[in-house]
Amino acid sequence: MSRFASHLRSTISAFALVTLTALAMLGADSAQSCTRVLYTGDEGLVITGRSMDWSEDMRSNLWVFPAGIERDGAAGPRSPHWTSKYGSVVVSGYEIGSADGMNERGLVANALYLSETDYGKPDAKRAPLSISLWVQYALDNFATVAQALDVLGREPFQIIAPPLPNGKPLTIHLSLSDAQGDSAILEYLDGKLVIHHGKAFKIMTNSPIYSEQLALDTYWKGVGGLTFLPGTNRAADRFVRASFLLDAIPKQLDPNYIVGVPNRSYDYQAVAGVMSVMRSVSVPLGISTPDQPNLSSTIWRTVSDQKNLVYYFDSSTRPDTFWVSLHNLNLKPGAPVMKLTIDAGQVFSGEVSGSFVATPSFRFMPAPAP
């Protein structure tokens, strides 16, 4: 047997072994899959990208929430109350909660599905917070990941998660990143909050739980992405591919392509690079796999430039990417809530801050008091 054939056979055998291990850990992937990456490059550039994979259209819109909004946790009289310190731009899900967003200090919050999530049994002695406000609570109150964990790590509230309007359970985990490149993954497992904190935690998908995904990623780094990469749409495979691709794209100005970038800007090049990673791990719109009915199509992607405070939105159902510069928004206390309606296929392109319209906020989905 030739050396090449022997190497190929060893690689395939190893692939089969780790695939079986991954499948045993994964079980059936949820119908709500997503991917998040965190890019750090030259000149202090930090960019977070995420995809939203879902089994149906979520009727998402973009919203601008200024600072100074008084909120409560929407889970009964013992819910926490707060006044937002920071303005933010968010993408709604079903017009009942914030699924993704960035605030004026560059903190980004991304909610991704995790079927293993267990928030624990409701406890009448603890302050309750509806799951619909978890993302917004972080964006309203914190400028950095460290600030967020200083509060959230002490568990000032318990998450109460009623089902979605379509009846599906709302089991999610949360990623946070800031303009300094710090990162955190928050998961509720067996009723306990588990936090992974540090700049090394750049990738996040869905099942299995984060600690097990890290173990799988370590294996594949040993194999090497140029030798073999797992190619299915399962969360663990997307994690590995996103990790390899994020490491591979340039972290500085690329002379091979910069001539085609607007203003020959490295920042724009990096945004395009992160968007290309998100598209590479996306699931084609309308895909149907008979023996894997739970895999879902990517319906939209966001890329958050945390240095320049620009929030990019890329839909799978319309032809153009558009973006919002937070510098062009009025986020001061007393400013109106603003909405960019996209839930009926409206098409936008370029910078769209001037297209938002003053609109009363959607109602965050309430949860029953424990």
**Catalytically active residues, by annotation:** 34
Quote the tokens at residue 289. Answer: 């796999």
Quote the tokens at residue 305. Answer: 């430039």
- Mapped onto helix, strand or coil, the DSSP state of residue 178 is coil
| DSSP conformational letter for 290 | T
- Could you tell me if 341 and 315 are in contact, meaning their C-beta atoms sit under 8 angstroms apart? no
Q: How many helices (H) and strands (E) does the chain have?
A: 6, 20
C-alpha span between 77 and 73 (Å, rounded): 9
Q: CA 316, 169, 282 angle in degrees (round to 5)?
A: 25
321's CB contacts (< 8 A; 6+ apart) are 275, 312, 313, 314, 349
- Concatenate the DSSP letters of all residues of 99-160 into one string: EEEEETTS-EEEEEE-TT----S--TTS-EEEGGGHHHHHHHH-SSHHHHHHHHTT--SEEE
Q: Which pairing describes strands 70-72 and 34-40: parallel, antiparallel, or unpaired?
A: unpaired
| DSSP conformational letter for 168 | -
- Mapped onto helix, strand or coil, the DSSP state of residue 96 is coil
C-alpha span between 55 and 30 (Å, rounded): 10
* C-alpha dist (Å) from residue 354 to 43, 210, 339: 29, 39, 11
| DSSP conformational letter for 285 | T
237's CB contacts (< 8 A; 6+ apart) are 22, 230, 231
- Could you tell me if 304 and 311 are in contact, meaning their C-beta atoms sit under 8 angstroms apart? yes
Residue carrying the six token digits 């966001």: 302
- Could you tell me if 302 and 50 are in contact, meaning their C-beta atoms sit under 8 angstroms apart? yes
CA 178 centroid distance within chain: 13
